[in-house]
Structure formats: C-alpha cells, structure tokens
Chain A
Amino acid sequence: MIRVGRAAEAPPFPVAAKRALGNAQLRRNVRHATNVIRGKRAVVVGEMPDWEQLRDAAHAIKEHTVRYLDFYLEQFEENCTRAGGSVHWAADADEANRIVIDIMRAAGRTEMIKVKTMTSDETGLNRALEAAGLVPHETDLADLIIQLGEDRPSHIVVPALHLNRTEIRDIFRGAMNRAELTDRPEELAAAARQFLREKFLRVDAGFSGANFAIADSGSICVVESEGNGRMCVTLPRVLITLVGVEKVIPRFQDLEVFLQVLARSATGERMNPYNSIWTGVTPGDGPQEVHVVLLDNGRTAVLQDEASRETLDCIRCAACLNACPVYQQTGGHAYGSIYSGPIGAILTPQLQSMEHSRSLPYASSLCGACYEACPVKIDIPEILIHLRERLVDAGEAPAGERWSMKAAAAAFASERRLGAAQKAARLAQWPFARHGQLSHLPPPLNAWTEHRALAAIPPQSFREWWATRERAGGA
C-alpha cells in the first residue's frame, strides 16, 4: 500500500491549521527558528555571484535525471552491486519495511542506530520494526528529541523546530531520568551525547537515508551537521540505506552543484560539516554488509503527470518551508504529513493520489516565496494550481465552491450580465450593511467577515461612472 506516514489519518489543513494557530508557544518557536534560518540563508546565498546559474544547473540535472530515471537507477544498481553492496527494490512502504526487517533478522540484529531519514518516516519504519520486536534508536539530535517525546517531525531539515529548549529539557528529564538537567544548550547537548554514545558503541546495525544516490559510481551520499550520522554509517558492521528513487543523480561530479546549493538553502551554511560518501563494501573497513533499498511508494506515478513531475526534483532542503508565510503561521504538523510546507502541499497529495490530502493544494496564498527560495527551481505555485485543477476536473471540489465559480463565470461572460450582477450585489448587501461596512455575510463570505471588515459596495461602479462621463461628453 502507498502510505505517507500517518497522513491518511490527518484532519484537513484548515482544521489542523486552526488548532496550530491557537498554540502561541508553537507559533513563537516556529517564527523564531524560520527567521534565524532565513537570515543565515540570505547571507550565504547573497555572497554567491553564480547563485542563479547554480539553480539553473541543479534544475537541469534533476529534470534530465527524472526523465531517464529508469536508466540511472539501473546504472546505480549495477555499480553499487559491483562494489559489494546489495540493492533491493521496494514498490511501497510496506515492502520497504519488510525488506529492512528481513535484513535485520538474517543478520541476527535486534537493534539499529538511525541517522535522520525522512523516507523511513514516510514508510512508518519505526512502528513496523517495533511490531516485529526490533528496536530503532534515532541518533540525529532532533529526531532523538522527537522519538523520546513521542512527537512527530514538523520540519524537513529541523524536525523538532516546533520545540524550544525548555520543552526539550523536559523531554530529556523524563526519558533520560535526569531530573537535574537545565535548559542550557551545552548541557542538553552533553546529555544527548552521553545517551547516544552508549548506543553507538553497542548497537551493531546502522540505518540511514540518503541525500544522493550516485549512478556512475554506485555511491550513497549523506550530509549532516552533527557527526552522529558519520557514526551510524561507519561503526556498525551492517548498514541499511533507504532511498527514494528520485534521489539518484547521474554523476559523482554533479555533487559539485548539489552540495553547494543544498547546504546554503537548508541550514544557511557554506558547506555541511559532515559529508559522508560510501561505495559498497571496503573489506576490513567500515560496514561489511551494505544494503540499499530503493523505494517507489507512489513516485513513478508522479512521473506520469508531466505538469507536476518536477515535484520529484526536490532535494529536501526545506528552504520553501522557511520562506512560506503559511508555514510560519502553522508549523509543520498542520500539513498532516512528514512532508510539510509548500513542498509537502504538492508532494503528499501526489504520492497518495490525492486520496487523503485534498485540502493541501489549497494551503497556500500562491505568494511565490517558495519558488523564489527553491534551489532546484520547482515552480511550486504552478503545481499547486495544477493539483487544484485536477481536483476540480475530478469533481472533488466542494459543491458550494463549484456553484460560486459557475455563478462568477456566468456574470463575467458579458458586460450586461456583470452590470446586472453588480446591481444585484448592491441590493443584496443592504441587510448586512451598517455605517458603510458589511458584517455577518452568509457562507462562504462569512469566512471573510468573521475576521476582517469589508466596506460596502460603492453605489456607482467604474463602468457606470464611465458611461455617465461619456454621455456628458468626456471630462
């Protein structure tokens, strides 16, 4: 079954967003964090004279790759296998989880240390492992916080962005049994370090996501800031990597483009502190059993829609989340998916064939800040509109909206009808008008007047004024 985390159980965006808007602490945390990252990004992007060319290059490489995806995936499989890796193909979330569980059992491992992987959140791997009696340990600091707090990620790059350090202290105090912890960042980091170090040294299976799967070398590339990922991919003897099929890039050399745009867009750094690249197995050094699971889970279906397939160009930098004024208000949970913000609003519905996420394509004012920030130039507003069109064409739009749009189209069909509609609206507004302002309008306009004032429609339209002026012989 194609599944994106628990998105199928999520409430519609406007409902979840309203709940988030009521949480003042969450909104302060999200606003603060996104402002900090945006500021840092602006500095390191601003210093690049060739930023626009880099974006163009990244876009061109991704478009080419997505077009010849089958070719590059097979090339990756061939080169990874030649280097001693084992490549597995998973059609959906359940198959991917089953493959990982089978590898763990065959290797006789019961615990694994994980480095941040959105894709395993997508497949719900941790729940599947636990159901099979296996124990996953998240080691990325933010993912550790999420796991210990039994929370959900709210951001693609900074999953615990919705929490502040006091909230994190409380999670650590409970889960690590350390009542003496304060909320000093150094102390919290030291506590996490101590907690994780024991796992790094003991647990003998590692699990990672991938930023890039490189076809011409068969390598996997993971970038991170903490070094915990480096531990996960070098210390254990068994290493499993789960990769969405769209993460493949043709050449090792293409990293020169992506490593420049990714770090600057994601964390506002010139380069990621840790860039780990490995190719199959090196005898006597590092993991001696290297597995790569290539996941489809709806991606090849996205490929089939030419108008929106550039969604698959995404490198998960989250620059669009940080730039998005809607995300800044609600945080990530409102999107009901591990993929939140503008990219989540176009990716989740497509992966799920719109089934459980009809409200997401409307979770945007189409302001264009996401497109402006995207380092691979995905035209997110255009794709949002395209997905809205798909819903309308499939008869999935609400009846009230369809009726309103039909009425508006009829009014706009001719000058005479528009003039009549203007007159009718002026008459119809009287029950709602007081002192030149309208209030308590009927649905759907009540959604406007509940929050904002609305001036009454003026007594003379521009076209009426113009006609009067013409009759009088001009100005």
Chain B
Amino acid sequence: MLISLFITCYKDTLFPDTGKAVVRVLERLGHRVEFRSAQTCCGQMHYNTGYTADARALMEKFVRDFDGAETICAPSASCVAMIRDHYPKMAAASGDAGLHRRVDELVPRVFEFTELLVDKLGVTDVGASFPHAVTLHTSCHSIRSLQLGDRPARLLRAVRGLELRELADADQCCGFGGTFAVKNADVSAAMGADKARRVVETGAAVCAAADNSCLLQIGGTLTQRGEPVRCLHVAEILAAGDGR
C-alpha cells in the first residue's frame, strides 16, 4: 500500500525522529511511503486560538497538498482530530461547495498512526523489541476525539521485552493545550506537574504517547525536575528492534 505521510509542522521541526520511526515501521511492514514536501501544518493552533481565517487557509492548502492521496497517515492524534472534527465544519461554514466536497472525500482517508496499524493494516505485532518498562499517556485527543481506546496499548503490549505499566489518572489532561501552555502557563505547569508525578510513580523508564505535543509538556516537566524518565512517541518504540 502507498501511504502518504503527514508529519505535522512541529514533528517536522522538533521531533524528526518520530517521523523517521513511522517511515521505518511502515516500510518494515512492506508498505511504500511518500512524503509530499509541500505540506506544512493542519491549522490546529490557529483554529484553537480563534484565528479561523488562517486555519481555513491552511485547511485549503492541506486539501491541495494531499489531493489524490489514497491513505494518509499522521503520527499525531490532535492533528488528526483537527482534520476529522473541524475540517468538515469549517468547510461547511465557508459556503464553498467544492471545498466541502473535497474535504468530505479527504477526511475518511486520514488515519492516526496507531489507528492505521490496527484498523487499516490489521497489525498489532509490528515485530518490535524494546526491553524496558513503559507507561502510556493516553492523550485527550486520542481518547475523547479519535476514540483510539486501547489501540496504542495493544501495539505496545505486543513489543518484545516491553513491560507496560499502568498510569494513574490516565484520562487527565497533561496541561499542554497548545497556546494554553503559554497563555495560562501557571495552570498548565501545575497540570503538567501532576502528570509528571503520576509518570514517576509508575517507575517506568519511558513515557510513551501518540502525541508529541503532550510529550513536549510531560518531558519538559520531567527534565526540569531532574527525573530520568525518557519521553518517546509510540512510533519510536514500535520502530525499535530489527522487525523480526
């Protein structure tokens, strides 16, 4: 299958290793991947902060950039939620029937990474090996918007040597929230501190998530506190090992 990657703006810039891990996992499973370099951002930050006109322009660009792509994969639950939940509404509000139709055609072809593996490709064991204790942060967008359920956990449980440790208060937000982290920095940091404490309590060496944005918050808090827990995107764990 030819899978078109949407790497997302901040992963492209701040977390290139996640994108590389996605490429590795999908190719190892025998799929071809493409990266359309015209892509930039889904518009989530602008949309969530109230800059709808800018978000709409980025939506139109996204639709153009991924024109004709059969299967689109993004290793970010929040960006997929932006596309799935908000693109159709924004397109309907634009009054542009052609755009609305193109968006409606595009949305069902966009998959979050773990969703693509489990639902579309039918795999839970990707042949990875990662002999460490791992805890999983289930991000708000992954559980409430995309309803990913236990898909990320099932993928991690199938990894050789990986011990998955349960995270208390798993459904609580880490406090990132995009511009919330800056506009309400004190509250955001207090939420991050709670989450970091729960992560440390698990005793896991690694905190995983299907969103790098949460990991930016959790990892930043852990590092600030001198905690040795590493934060890794689920894809980076699934890419570990030789794939056999």
- Report which A residues bind B (CB closer than 8 A): 13-14, 17-18, 21, 325-326, 329-330, 361-369, 371-372, 385, 387-393, 397, 401, 405-406, 408-409, 411-415, 418, 422, 425, 437, 444-445, 447-448, 450-455, 457-458, 460-463, 465-467, 475
Question: Do the beta carbons of A365 and B177 come within 8 Å of each other?
Answer: yes
7 contacts across the A-B interface (CB closer than 8 A): A14-B187, A21-B186, A326-B184, A365-B177, A366-B140, A388-B48, A453-B219
- Given the known A-B contacts A392-B50, A418-B9, are A467 and B37 also in contact in the complex, defined by CB atoms under 8 Å? yes
Q: Bound state CA distance, A325 and B23, in angstroms?
A: 35
User: Is B45 on the interface with A (CB-CB < 8 A)?
Assistant: yes
Question: Do the beta carbons of A366 and B178 come within 8 Å of each other?
Answer: yes
CB-based nearest A residue for B192? A452
Question: Do the beta carbons of A329 and B191 come within 8 Å of each other?
Answer: yes
CB-based nearest A residue for B89? A382
* Stretch of B12-20, B114-122, B157-165 lying at the A interface: B12-20
Shortest Cβ distance from residue A399 to the other chain B in the assembled complex, whole angstroms: 14
Q: Bound state CA distance, A458 and B212, in angstroms?
A: 14
Question: Do the beta carbons of A369 and B140 come within 8 Å of each other?
Answer: yes
CB-based nearest B residue for A447? B185
Please indicate the chain A residues that have their CB under 8 angstroms from the CB of B172 in the complex.
325, 369
Please indicate the chain B residues that have their CB under 8 angstroms from the CB of A329 in the complex.
187, 190-191
The secondary-structure label for the interface of chain A is helix
- Report which B residues bind A (CB closer than 8 A): 7, 9, 11-14, 16-17, 19-20, 23, 27, 35, 37-41, 43, 45-52, 54, 57-58, 61, 140-141, 144-145, 171-173, 175-192, 216-217, 219-221, 223-224
Question: Do the beta carbons of A412 and B41 come within 8 Å of each other?
Answer: yes
Please indicate the chain B residues that have their CB under 8 angstroms from the CB of A451 in the complex.
185-186, 188-189, 192, 221, 224
Please indicate the chain A residues that have their CB under 8 angstroms from the CB of B191 in the complex.
325-326, 329, 365
The secondary-structure label for the interface of chain B is helix
Question: Do the beta carbons of A408 and B184 come within 8 Å of each other?
Answer: no
Question: Do the beta carbons of B13 and A461 come within 8 Å of each other?
Answer: yes
Please indicate the chain B residues that have their CB under 8 angstroms from the CB of A408 in the complex.
41, 45-46, 54
- Given the known A-B contacts A326-B187, A405-B49, A457-B13, are A362 and B180 also in contact in the complex, defined by CB atoms under 8 Å? yes
CB-based nearest A residue for B185? A447
Q: Bound state CA distance, A393 and B16, in angstroms?
A: 35
Please indicate the chain B residues that have their CB under 8 angstroms from the CB of A413 in the complex.
40, 57, 61
Please indicate the chain B residues that have their CB under 8 angstroms from the CB of A390 in the complex.
50
Question: Do the beta carbons of B51 and A462 come within 8 Å of each other?
Answer: no
Given A371-B144, A405-B51, 4 more A-B residue pairs with CB atoms under 8 Å apart are A405-B54, A406-B54, A414-B38, A418-B41
